[in-house]
């Protein structure tokens, strides 16, 4: 098995790391304090211009065609500097991929170049509802046929980038009498469509730079041509795209954990107590060893899932395993790094507490850790049923 990265993958990783250091890290604290929105949007445009908003999109649509491994590497590097920028990039890539996978030629030609070149600052993925989070098949948002149009009514919750997304992928019930999960369709709704209303911004524990909003549809009329894929086949599309999104969120979590531990290792090799550097104390060395091992395992699980996806092989179980392990490892890594800093880690002047807050959501969005365990168990037991 070949573990080495290709030259292209190394180049994409290195460019992402440089952009993160030069553009994202200097702004991260300002974003966390609620400012810097204009600079944030400018950075998103620069990300697009460097090919990071269409990493797995075909060149004919302005994409990079770099593949899922490169996507994972890039998100990891970006999140080491700014989790808010990383999650925006991850979700926008997910929106672009679903359009590429099931959109018509007209839809792909219309919307993919605008996502890839930064004409649209971001894409919105409208799936979750107040009563349909871990159970998206239970959604209530409806799309009722009216002549050559559909009329959308309902609300979506916790939509990343809703305030500045240029295009939304929206799931809605098109056959209320169908068996659960079988009567859902997928639509493309551009920002500014009458009846599409961006609701209040959520006040969150972390990732403050990433806008998270309610999105309401009030008699929102869209043409039948806005449907992606086949009618009533939307839930299958959502499940497939969520698996890919889990690679992105796992990669984001890995980056947070790596950066937190990078700073912790530097700190304990400088700080002295009891006449010696903290890094010389065996108890702290063991803390480092445990976290380093878990983060390396997370990296390998993510690379495996990304490779399977790039090879066109089944990857849902691998993606859930990678997302579960990486996000849980990030919780331990960020809190361990904070602990190794002692009281310094608790002070806002240092970024440790921000890493811990930013990492916390990764075990929840794109499917909670509990949902990942259900998926893994279902796949593991399938052959024995």
What positions carry a catalytic annotation?
Answer: 366
| 3-state secondary structure (DSSP) of residue 50 | coil
Helix (H, G, I), strand (E, B) or coil at 217: strand
**DSSP for 297-345, written as a single string:** HHHHHHHHHHHHHHTT---HHHHHHHHHHHHHHHHHHHHHHHHHTGGGG
Q: Rounded CA gap, 38 and 165, in Å? A: 14
Rounded CA separation 221/344 (Å): 54
CA angle 367, 293, 268 (to 5 degrees): 110
Do 208 and 31 contact (CB within 8 A), yes or no?
yes
Cα gap 229→169, rounded to integer Å: 12
- Both tokens assigned to 159: 């939509």
Kindly report each contact of residues 322-325 with a partner whose C-beta sits within 8 Å and lies 24 or more positions away, as own/partner.
322/246, 322/247, 322/250, 322/298, 323/246, 323/247, 323/249, 323/250, 323/253, 323/366, 323/367, 323/372, 324/369, 324/372, 324/373, 324/376, 325/250, 325/294, 325/297, 325/298, 325/301
204 vs 209: CA distance, rounded Å: 10
200: burial class by Cβ within 10 Å (0-12, 13-18, 19+)?
Answer: exposed
């Amino acid at each position: 098995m070949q573990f080495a990265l290709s030259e292209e993958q190394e180049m994409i990783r290195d460019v992402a790391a440089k952009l993160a250091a030069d553009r994202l890290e200097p702004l991260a604290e300002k974003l966390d304090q609620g400012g810097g929105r204009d600079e944030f949007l400018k950075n998103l445009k620069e990300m697009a211009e460097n090919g990071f908003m269409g990493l797995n999109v075909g060149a004919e649509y302005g994409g990079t065609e770099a593949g899922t491994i490169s996507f994972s590497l890039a998100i990891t590097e970006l999140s080491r500097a700014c989790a808010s920028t990383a999650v925006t990039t991850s979700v926008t890539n997910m929106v672009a991929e679903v359009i590429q996978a099931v959109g018509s030629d007209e839809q792909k030609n219309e919307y993919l170049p605008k996502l890839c070149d930064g004409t649209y600052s971001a894409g919105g993925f409208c799936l979750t509802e107040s009563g349909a989070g871990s159970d998206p098949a239970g959604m209530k948002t409806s799309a009722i046929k009216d002549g050559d149009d559909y009329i959308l009514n309902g609300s979506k919750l916790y939509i990343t980038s809703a305030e500045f997304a240029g295009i939304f992928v929206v799931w809605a019930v098109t056959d209320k009498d169908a068996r659960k999960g079988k009567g859902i369709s997928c639509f493309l709704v551009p920002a500014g469509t009458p009846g599409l209303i961006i609701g209040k911004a959520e006040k969150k524990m972390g990732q403050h730079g990433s806008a998270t909003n309610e999105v309401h549809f009030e008699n929102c009329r869209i043409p039948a041509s806005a449907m992606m894929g086949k009618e009533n086949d939307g839930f299958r599309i959502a499940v497939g795209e969520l698996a890919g999104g889990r690679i992105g969120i796992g990669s984001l979590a890995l980056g947070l954990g790596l950066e937190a531990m990078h700073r912790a290792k530097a700190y304990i090799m400088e700080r002295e107590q009891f006449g010696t550097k903290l890094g010389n104390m065996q108890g702290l060395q063991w803390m480092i060893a445990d976290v380093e091992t878990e983060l390396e395992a997370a990296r390998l699980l993510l690379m495996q899932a990304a490779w399977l996806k790039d090879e066109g092989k089944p990857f849902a179980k691998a993606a859930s395993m990678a997302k579960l392990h990486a996000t849980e490892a990030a919780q331990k890594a960020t809190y361990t790094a904070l602990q190794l800093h002692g009281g310094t880690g608790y002070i806002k002047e240092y970024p440790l507490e921000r890493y811990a807050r930013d990492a916390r959501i990764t075990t929840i969005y794109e499917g909670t850790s509990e949902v990942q365990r259900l998926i893994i168990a279902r796949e593991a037991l399938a052959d024995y049923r």
